[in-house]
Amino acid sequence: MDMLSRVADSLYWMSRYLERAEHIARVLEVYLSEQLEEYTGDDNNRWRTVVESIGLQAPDDLVEEDVGHWMAFDLSNQSSIVACIMSARDNARQVREQISSEMWEHLNRLFHRVRAASTTEDWSADQHEFLTEVKEGAHLFQGITDSTMNHGEGWHFIQLGRFMERAVSVSELIKVHFREHIPADDEEHHEGGDLLKSCTAFEAYCKVYTADFKPLRISEFLLLNREFPHSICFAIDQVEVSLKALPQSADRRVGDRALRLVGKLKAMLSFSQIDEIMAIGLPVFLAEIDRQCNQIHIALHQIYIEYPVETAIQF
């Protein structure tokens, strides 16, 4: 049976929002533990950088003490963890009969837990536990999704949402990180450890490069590694796999567009060497990734969701 465009859209966004919640939880956790160790004590604006690295602008009246709460719970912040999980659940609810009941129940439970946590007055005591719960909740949801839902069209839209979000958010994280820490080729780069942790990449990186934190290698790993699930290259590979699995659009002119765009981005990631990237300039390269991801997102929307009626009516 054909899938309704609305259903595909909800699955895609459900997945994007949950991925975003998990990403923010990771970044926030790294920041909070860094605060405990206080080795960035001289940098008074560190927290602003953290906010920026998840693609947000801190409101003017936000102060350092509140940044954790704002990122985790503030509903006026549309990208707070709670707001993201709420949006994920709202989307899931719209398509409840399309996902497995295990998926729904798990997401619903996660939502009720984080909402309850958000109403406690003093969360600082339990913050680690809370962030762990969010991360684990998201991981579990992925596992449940993969093992209880048909790997059909709907599942591929979930994959698309997850990996599109991942590519964009990792790119943003790298961009802001290396803007603050101008990479010098050979120097030992301590802060790089935090960047890796923010992408659950610490251990995976060490297995490949040992605990030798060089900006070049870190960038190479997060951008170009084909096996690490949080690298941009991996994410785009997955986007391509899912896109190829979707039904062909009735309108061939636009139908191929998304695949063409993904192919282009994949080629750019596959055939680039890290020294070439550094030669062009990392920010330029990241901006290009960002631009292309955005084009892919728009193309997906135009082909499958909000296609203009007049082009689709052809008898």
Q: How far is the CB of 142 from another protein (least distance, A)?
A: 22
Query: Are residues 103 and 148 in contact, defined by beta-carbon separation less than 8 angstroms?
Result: yes
**Contact 13/7 with Cβ under 8 angstroms?**
no
Eight-class DSSP state of 61 = T
> Based on CB atoms, which residue is closest to another protein, 134 or 246?
246
- Distance, in Å, from the CA atom of 42 to the CA atom of 213, rounded to the nearest integer, reads 22
DSSP annotation of 248 reads: P
Q: At what angle do helices 153-180 and 127-148 cross, to 10 degrees?
A: 150
Binding residues for another protein, per CB under 8 A?
A: 1-6, 8, 93-94, 96-97, 101, 153, 246-251, 304-305, 307-310, 312-313
The nearest distance, CB 154 to another protein, in angstroms, is 10
Toward another protein, which CB reaches closer, 123 or 307? 307
Q: Rounded to an integer, what distance in angstroms lies between the CA atom of residue 225 and that of residue 203?
A: 14
The 8-class DSSP code of residue 55 comes to T
How remote is the C-alpha of 57 from its chain's centroid?
Answer: 17
Q: Residue 150, exposed/middle/buried by CB under 10 A (0-12, 13-18, 19+)?
A: exposed
Measure the CA–CA gap between 28 and 314, rounded to whole angstroms: 50
Considering the complex, state which of residue 34 and residue 251 has its C-beta at the smaller distance from another protein.
251
Given the complex with another protein, which of 6 and 291 has the nearer CB atom?
6
Mention every residue, 6+ apart, whose C-beta is less than 8 A from residue 197.
26, 30
Nearer to another protein, 249 or 295 (CB): 249
Spell out the residues 6+ positions from residue 242 whose beta carbon is closer than 8 angstroms to its own. Answer: 156, 157, 159, 160, 163
For another protein, the closer of residues 3 and 235 by Cβ is: 3
Q: Which is nearer to another protein, 122 or 310 (CB)?
A: 310
Question: Could you say which DSSP state residue 71 is in?
Answer: H
Q: How far is the CB of 109 from another protein (least distance, A)?
A: 12
Amino acid residing at 145 = T
Q: How far is the CB of 160 from another protein (least distance, A)?
A: 11
Nearest to another protein of 283, 308 (CB atom): 308
CB of 102 to another protein, least distance (A): 11
From the CB of 3, what's the least distance to another protein, in Å? 5
Q: How far is the CB of 15 from another protein (least distance, A)?
A: 15
Task: Please name which of 181, 118, 132 lies closest in space to residue 33, comparing C-alpha atoms.
Answer: 132
Least Cβ distance, residue 209 to another protein (angstroms):
41
Write the DSSP symbol of residue 211.
Answer: S
